[in-house]
Amino acid sequence: MSLRVLHIFAPNYRLRFTGPVIQWRYYFNKWSEPGISHFVLDISDSKILPAAEAFNFELTGAHQVLRKSERATWVFDLIRSLTRLRGSYDLLHVHVLWWGSLLLGPWANWRRLPVLYESVLLGSDTPSGIRQERLGGLKFKLLKQYTGILAISDFLAEDYLANGFKTDQVHLLENSVDTVLFHPAANNKEKHALRAKYHLPAESTILIFVGSLIHRKGFDTLVQAFIQACQQGSDLFLLAVGPASKSENPSLDENFIQGLKQEIETAQLGSKVRFTGLIQDRDALAELYRTADLFVFPSRNEGLPSVLLEAMASGLVPVVSDLPVLRNVIHQGVNGVKVPVEDVPALSDAIQQLSRDPSRQAELASNAVESIHDKHGFTVWQQNISGYYYALQRRANRYHSQKD
């Protein structure tokens, strides 16, 4: 059975370097299941493009955010394009939760098409959070009309089930990782060579943070813990990789970032921190992971961050917030270390203890790599989502045959 899956991203997906765009570029390029073809709707030209072709682009210039008027226009453009192109796709896979995409639930039911939404962030696109928003009740009712929900962590899935979604409607599938690209340094010689290439200290314990430098991701907690650890004698270096200005991410609070930079300078640690900005080159990002020792990610709220999985695949010890969504990914003291959310002293202590115990680092890092290969390989992920696509098609067919 062949199946044509049409993906619906935000219309400015080529102008925003977001996690789902990065993740699905990898999936599209890696896809090898012949029975399923992936396409992306290009609203600007009202046409459907093969997914690998649609995602063959590089970001240039400033990122752009759509105005409310543009989002409103998108609602009509989306429905018009899908109606005109009907017959060119069999299933809709939606990656954005705006009014236009919410309306696709009832629209797809009317057209007898299966439609799924991919949920990626607890609170922002799960029922518990949606119901508290303005017009949240209406949004919730529209979302319930989706044939399926693809949740990237078990905690997200549980939120849907706790709010009345059916068990055959919600499917858990954690992200996959490109383990060919993201892998540990072969040995200390390679690690030191990469450190020399990027002008990083040869002997310090390098902490790496990857993501937008925002409050939600706990970058302030990291900076404060880093300062404490350095002041207590640890030889550390912090590598902050990710958007640090509005030109790279329009939603950033530049005052927040400047305040943290000032804290670093006041502590006289400016020479021990590097802000790289956004790095689009995935090969360069993979190399930067391999220069580091610890991946420190004290986020306040997540779905399942791909950067965490990339870091684990790269042989780093993850030091993360104890978030419910990570409970089946990071096992305390086995493949990583968890600390309470916003607990600066606990994070500082964890960093110091690991930096002084190379053998413990090696043990946790090895277990982290093993857990990625066991649970987050692409082949298993592809088989899983393929089965879910076909199950959604059968579910939609049963639903409409019962109505008839």
Sequential DSSP letters for 269-308: -GGGEEEEE----HHHHHHHHHH-SEEEE--SS-B--HHH
For residue 65, is pLDDT > 80? no
302 assigned to some structural domain: yes
323 assigned to some structural domain: yes
Q: Quick one: residue 36, left, alpha or beta (phi over 0 = left, psi -120 to 50 = alpha)? A: beta
> Predicted confidence band at 303 (pLDDT cuts at 50, 70, 90)?
confident
- Give the number of domains in the chain: 2
237 and 134 belong to one structural domain: no
Question: Residue 80 is part of a domain; what is its CATH number?
Answer: 3.40.50.2000
Dihedral sign from CA coordinates of 207, 212, 216, 220 = positive
Residue range(s) defining the domain that contains residue 325? 188-375
At residue 20, the pLDDT reads: 85
31 and 166 belong to one structural domain: yes
196 and 96 belong to one structural domain: no
Structure confidence by residue, pLDDT tens digits, 168-216: 999 999 999 999 999 999 999 999 999 999 999 999 999 999 999 999 9
> Which among 244-258, 304-318, 386-400 has the top mean pLDDT?
304-318
Q: Is the Cβ–Cβ distance between 11 and 74 less than 8 Å?
A: yes
182 assigned to some structural domain: no
At residue 62, the pLDDT reads: 58
At residue 402, the pLDDT reads: 64
211 and 351 belong to one structural domain: yes
Q: Is the Cβ–Cβ distance between 321 and 343 less than 8 Å?
A: no
For residue 60, is pLDDT > 60? no
Nearest to 148 by CA among 88, 108, 98: 108
At residue 59, the pLDDT reads: 66
For residue 63, is pLDDT > 80? no
Structure confidence by residue, pLDDT tens digits, 6-33: 999 988 888 776 778 889 999 999 999 9
> Which among 23-27, 59-63, 220-224 has the top mean pLDDT?
220-224
127 and 204 belong to one structural domain: no
256 assigned to some structural domain: yes
At residue 404, the pLDDT reads: 55
